[in-house]
Each structure stands twice: as C-alpha cells, then as structure tokens.
C-alpha cells in the first residue's frame, strides 16, 4: 500500500506526500525523494542527526535505538517529540502521520 504523510517544511508550508510500504524505505529516504532539504549525511545509520524531525501525531513508532537516543540527546534543537527520520520505516503504522522538519543545522 501507499501511506500518506503530512509534512511541514522549514518555511511552515504543509504538504501531503505518499510512499510505498513494500520498498524497504525509511522516512529520511522518502523525504529526500520528495526533494525536502534533508542531508541524510550518514546514509541512515542514526549517526548524524541531519534528518531530525518533530512528530506531531500519535502514530505508533518503533522504539528509539541507543544510537538514535544518543544523537538526539546531543543535538541542539531536540525536543521530546524529536526523531531521526532515517529510523522510521515506511509502514502502515505511519499512515497519516504529521511531521515537521527541524531547523537546518547551522
């Protein structure tokens, strides 16, 4: 199936993007496909925090790994609803999820 995700970009503009659940994609990759300005520097290993997002809905997400927790702990803009998009697989659980891109790293 294709899931829909509400994305608020760094200018505050909200759009709905969709992505397939059967291609082993993560949310960082999907956002990059849709040309959102996320770097994804480490390629998806939860080692750089360049795909930092804020979750604004209550979808069931996978637990944070110790690596993701550590990156977010040491990240300047982290909030309680922070996640790394690369650690969120595109699955049915995230259908209609609402997210906001964190500010660009200076």
Partner 1 sequence: MIKTDIIIIGAGPVGLFTVFEAGLLKLKCHLIDALPQPGGQCAEIYPKKPIYDIPGYPSILASELVDKLMKQIEPFNPGFTLGETAQTIEKNSDGDFIIKTTQGTSIIAPVVAIAGGLGVFTPRKPNIPNLESFENDKVYYIVKEPSLFKNKEIVISGGGDSALDWALFFVENYASDVKLIHRSDNFRAHNDSVQRALDYSKKGEIKMVLNSQVSGISKNESKITLDVQSKDNKLSKINCDNWLPLFGLTPKIGPIGDWGLEIQKNAIKVDNSTDYSTNIDGIYAIGDVNTYPGKLKLILCGFHEAAIMVQSAFKKIHPNKKNVLKYTTVTGIKGF
**At its nearest, how many Å lie between partner 1 and the CB of residue 36?**
12
- Cα R_g (the chain), whole angstroms: 12
Q: How far is the first Cα of the chain from the last one, in angstroms, to the nearest whole number?
A: 37
What x-and-dash track marks residues 30-69 binding partner 1 by CB under 8 A? Answer: ---------x-xx--x-xx-x------------------x
**At its nearest, how many Å lie between partner 1 and the CB of residue 48?**
6
**At its nearest, how many Å lie between partner 1 and the CB of residue 102?**
10
Those residues whose C-beta lies under 8 Å from the C-beta of residue 52, and which sit 6 or more positions away, are 72, 75, 77, 78, 82, 83, 84, 85, 101, 102
- Options 75, 89, 93, 98; binder of partner 1; rule CB under 8 A: 75
Report the helix count and the strand count for the chain, using DSSP H and E: 2, 5
- Which residues of the shown chain bind partner 1 in the complex (CB under 8 A)? 39, 41-42, 45, 47-48, 50, 69-71, 73-78, 103, 105-106
């Amino acid at each position: 199936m294709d899931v829909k995700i509400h994305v608020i970009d760094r200018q505050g503009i909200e759009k709905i993007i969709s992505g397939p659940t059967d291609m082993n994609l993560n949310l960082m990759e999907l956002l990059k496909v849709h040309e959102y300005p996320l770097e994804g520097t480490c390629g998806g290993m939860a080692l750089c925090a360049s795909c930092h997002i804020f979750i604004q809905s209550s979808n069931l997400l996978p637990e944070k790994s110790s690596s993701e927790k550590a990156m977010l702990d040491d990240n300047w803009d982290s909030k309680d609803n922070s996640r790394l998009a690369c650690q969120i697989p595109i699955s049915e659980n995230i259908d209609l999820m609402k997210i906001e891109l964190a500010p660009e790293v200076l």
